[in-house]
Structure 1
Amino acid sequence: MTTYRRRGHWRTRSSGTRHWVTTHHVTRSSARPATSPGRSHPRSSSPAPSGAVGWISPNASCPVCGAAVYFYANEHGSRVFFDELGPPWPKHPCTDNPALHATTAGGRQAPSIRDLGVARRPSDMRDRAWKAYAVKGIAIEDGRSSIALQPLNGAGRGLSWTVSRPLSLRADDIVFVRAQQMSYFDADACEPAIVEDARRAAEIARRLITERDRQHVLAAIAGRVAAGEMTPDEVAEVTVAVRAARTRGELAAAIRIRVTDLTVAPPRRGDLWLLAIAFVLMVGATSAAEGGRSFLMMLPGLLLMATAVYRLNPDLERGARVVFAVLTAVVAICPAGALGGAIQVEILQR
């Protein structure tokens, strides 16, 4: 017999309702066979209907307390139980216990889009910043994974992802996307993992950085030193690499993080104010004059607009910055002219 203390937790009934269970002791027979847990909800034989609203139903029940859980197992016999799908991937406390570690024979098992329940809703344990998708298809070629994703309800536009290594995903598996990152359950490692969209990551990695970006990162490193997360030797090594970095990719590599996790210096407030003032000047010019005269009066606003846009995009090459700044200022003529014209009409009517 094995007895252990289980902390308070939420328990989900088969009906989908949840209730709180206080801290208690659990006694489990060590002779109990470690078989594949039974399903608490039958798996549908067809994908979720288009436009359906709901959430993935638990595909198993806990072998200790009987609560509805999400169960993953791989071909090697490793298995894991979760209280909810998606980041932060909360493990079920009954089975998150080294003393109860067991493996189970059989093939791979995982929740999928075919477990979607129309009446079910995700719990508060899931980080809603990550949007759930189902794998529509995956192709592995030249060591890269090309993945087609679709919304769980089958409606709306899907996503296309490219990852720079093979992934252990199958059609109908559930993944979670936030910005340029995808979180999924790695069946080979039997644990959650996060990968970047290779195309977007490569684009970000090529962007140039400024001295303000370096100082921003060095200040963050100083905070980690104060918190005791880095040693002086580590700081010295990282600082040298940060000062030598020219692009965001090099800067991310210097501090050993994914490039999509990199946070650079925020825009200067003065540049944002300059952008706002430029637009106000352009609107004022078109509302006070007509024809060629309004364009001449708009020139100071155009110059300020181009200057502000140039200063707000230091990660572009100089030539690209100039072109982008000029084009943005020219395009801004249309909304500024429309707003200025509306103001002029209102003044004339009064």
Structure 2
Amino acid sequence: MIDQMLAASPNLMNTFLFFTIAAAFLMVILGFVTYAILAERKVLGFMQMRVGPNRVGGRWGLLQTVADVLKLLIKEDTIPKLADRPLFILAPVLAFTPAFLVLVVIPFSENLKFADLGIGLLYYIAISGITTIGILTAGWASNNKYALLGGMRSAAQMISYEIPLVMSVIGVVLLTGSLNLNEIVAAQENWAFIFIQPVAFIIFLIASIAELNRTPFDLPEAESELVAGYHVEFSGFRWAFFMLAEYVYLFAMASLTTVLFLGGWQPIPFLGFIPGIVWFALKFILIVFIMIWIRGTLPRLRADQLMSFGWKVLLPLALANIFLTAIIKELINSF
């Protein structure tokens, strides 16, 4: 029956194929989230001289996160009586959906890409900003002062660090003359931009961690002072949506960092026989490990330190990097 329908309508076949690929990719992302959480717990345990999960799923705790997900799914779903019910239900969706949508422009290899947009980088930045609305909505709809404070902190933090993050990639755009992520990867055939734009890479990495609300920039949650912040009133699968969004963004941001500064799927010279997707995966894993390493090493900043660092340190450095990149490129073109 399905074969007859697909043969009768090429458009229906394309739609069916699109949704099949999208569903398969979603399963890959969910698998990454499941085991990224486990990897983070094991790495943090090692750094802090602890064992980490080692009960569910053998000595390595391979099924611990699966058990945690099942626990969240069967937990009671509660909505506070005085909460704004429609917005309370909508907030987790607003936080998660953009995290998945930004992945369509990431080129994972020369052939594995979903959308080759000429403004792929601009698309990523624009769509990822919607998550701020979801977090702010969650804080407002909860009708809880701690949740509202967490939501307001998140809006201030994500807007503040979005500016140096965007400024840091302008140097890359100047060097390539394009916002297309595939062309940016192609421009790194000889030298990855981490060697040409080291300051931009450091700014981008720091700002991306702040965008992810991860330690040491986890002020919107801040359990010690805001009892979990914007999602304090959420439980069960709604709370899980916020955590899912955070780790999907970890996947997306590590992928974007790999594309912009580590050459994407471009191989190391003399090792070109190794498939591009393998190179992408190795570089991607390195970025994820660095983000976990930073979480296990640095303490949380104060709110005033957070804002001062973004506006008084990262933003001037990003502007200076743009200025120097433009001057050096012009001098090189002149000769």
Richer in strand (by share): 1
Greater percentage in helix: 2
Shorter chain as denominator, the TM-score bin is under 0.3
Name the TM-score, length of structure 2 as normaliser: 0.23
Q: Which has the higher contact order (CA 8 A, sep 6+)?
A: 2
TM-score, normalising length: structure 1: 0.23
